[in-house]
Structure 1
Amino acid sequence: MLMAARRVTALVLVGAVALLSATACGADSSILGKDSLVIGVKPDQPGLGMKKAEGEFVGFDVDVAAYIAGKLGKNARFVETPSSVREKVLMDGSVDLVVATYSITPERKTKVAFGGPYYVAHQDTLVRGTESAVDNVRDLKGRKLCQVTGSNSWRRVKEERKIAVKLVEAASYSECVSGLTAGRVDAVSTDDLILAGFATADLKIVNAPFTDERYGVGIQAGDLDGCEAVNKAITEMYQDGTAKKLLEKWFGKSGLALTFTVPQFEGCG
């Protein structure tokens, strides 16, 4: 009986040590335990994330990321993060956060966690300025639509709405826009904030939105404390007027109807 009791006590002690070790590891892996944060942003989306010739990143997403890092008391270092690798770099720890027009979806939430959303955009369509036959997404039937690797935007058209478009692959939206200008594709359909950065006198937004795109802050799965801290920072960004200031700075002249209220959060659990 005494030996059995000792064995139980030993097992309890081992379990307690294991629990403390796991808790310590969790704390160390949280963004809250780091002195500085590596944040993934886009390098080629005007108004959202652009890498200048001297290496500096600028744009709405970059400013949002810098604000969040500042509220967490961390320095930030920005790195290029194309759509195709956003989950990968979070899962392997190459970056701590991703703020790169990263729409929150059920599929992505099986791999990574999300703070926010920090903004709700709406998918729309960009066409050539001379195009007169495309008034909404259904008018894309039979046309060539650009498909960016790692993006879900084309799925909203071809799979969800069953519109028979001809997909043309591209590595980025800047490549899509080049293809649109050159006539290799007929349309680019994605978030209106992305399209606003590319719209010119020769390229126009159809202005017929058909989805809600909830831009989230990508974070490693399991970092509940870090996620909640990010959400607190986003709330403060709207409450102190910074969100309104940044949206007007980057998109005030775009003609888009901007929203200045705190988005409904997804929840970190």
Structure 2
Amino acid sequence: MTLRKAGLAAAAALVLSLTATACGGGSSDSGSNGDKINIGIKFDQPGLGLKTQDGEYVGFDVDVAKYVAKELGYDEKDIVWKQAPSAERENMIANGDVKFIVATYTINDERKERVDFAGPYFLAHQDLLVRADDNTVRSEDDLDKSEMKLCSVTGSTSAQNVKKDFAPKANLMQYGGYSECLTGLENKAVDALTTDDSILAGYAAQKEHQGKFKLAGLNLSDEPYGIGLKKGDTKLQKQINDALKKMVEDGSWEKAAKKHFGPADYDYEPAPEITETS
């Protein structure tokens, strides 16, 4: 009887061991935690990636991330959102803190030395946000002649680039955050705020800002947004690209763009052609 009990115990232990191995197989994947998936987004960009006071996550990037996650087999409840500051995105991917990042992440050669991208899924351009009744700047030529007070967030390169390449006479003013720039713009302390037009449109579309501001409509640069992922993960890259294609084909991309950018009268580009393939 003792031997029989010992044999049953050993068999049970073997079954438990095999079961644990099978269940834990996905936990070793970067950015995965069992049945959960870690996705990086911005928490402070209205219209793109925003964590609300109620703890909800909303925006175009959030909708793209949810769609991709669904195509990878994850329900919305399985997503663990991770804040992805611009300066930390490559580290978060390389360290396996996230499976992928959807956070106004412009594809460029310098970043591609450390991470791979899927997409692009959106094409933004650097632009200016001005007051709704301001018609001073209608073209790059107007900008070149302007001595406007140009607002930038401290540490941002957007305004520096505009001042260097397009508006050398501008008076560059640096504030701590976009909300301060918007307050300055509303109070006429500054004449314009500059960054990607998608980000500007998100702020202009906020309920408290609707009707106060408008985009100048200057395409000062091309900013193709990609989904960042671990370098060399060609399987995930293809899966994400397939999901992005499906999102465009079934109308979900256009629906999300209208929902988040429409209130700002933002004339966004159509979904771009996917170029990041291995």
Task: State which of 94, 110, 128 in structure 2 corresponds to 1:91.
Answer: 94
Q: What is the letter of the counterpart of residue 45 of structure 2?
A: Q
Q: Which consecutive unaligned segments of at least 5 residues does structure 2 have?
A: 1-26, 205-209
Aligned equivalent of 1:65? 65
Percent identity of the aligned residues?
42
Task: State which of 195, 198, 202 in structure 1 corresponds to 2:203.
Answer: 198
Cα displacement (A) at 1:242: 1.0
Q: Give the distance between the partners of 1:56 and 1:120, measured in 2 at CA.
A: 26
Q: Give the distance between the partners of 2:182 and 2:129, measured in 1 at CA.
A: 9
Q: Give the distance between the partners of 2:66 and 2:100, measured in 1 at CA.
A: 11
Q: Give the distance between the partners of 2:231 and 2:156, measured in 1 at CA.
A: 20
Query: Aligned runs of 1:1-269 on 2, under 5 Å?
Result: 29=29, 35-74=35-74, 75-140=78-143, 141-148=146-153, 152-154=157-159, 156-161=161-166, 163-170=168-175, 172-199=177-204, 200-261=210-271, 263-269=272-278
Q: Could you tell which deviates more after superposition, 97-106 or 148-157?
A: 148-157
Q: Provide the secondary structure at the position in 1 that maps to 2:92.
A: helix
Q: Give the distance between the partners of 1:217 and 1:236, measured in 2 at CA.
A: 15
Cα displacement (A) at 1:184: 4.9
Q: Provide the secondary structure at the position in 2 that maps to 1:207.
A: coil
Total equivalences in the alignment: 242
Q: Could you tell which deviates more after superposition, 92-101 or 156-165?
A: 156-165
Q: Provide the secondary structure at the position in 2 that maps to 1:229.
A: helix
For residues 114 and 177 of structure 1, do their structure 2 counterparts lie closer, same or farther at Cα, with a shift above 3 Å needed?
farther
TM-score (norm 2): 0.74
Q: Which consecutive unaligned segments of at least 5 residues does structure 1 have?
A: 1-26
Cα displacement (A) at 1:127: 1.4
TM-score (norm 1): 0.77
For residues 192 and 152 of structure 1, do their structure 2 counterparts lie closer, same or farther at Cα, with a shift above 3 Å needed?
same
* 8 Å CA contact retained: 1:137, 1:208: yes
Q: Deviations over 1:113-149 (max 9, x none)?
A: 1110111122221012343322234544543433346
Greater gyration radius: 2
Aligned equivalent of 2:8? none
Q: What is the letter of the counterpart of residue 56 of structure 1?
A: E
* 8 Å CA contact retained: 1:127, 1:203: yes
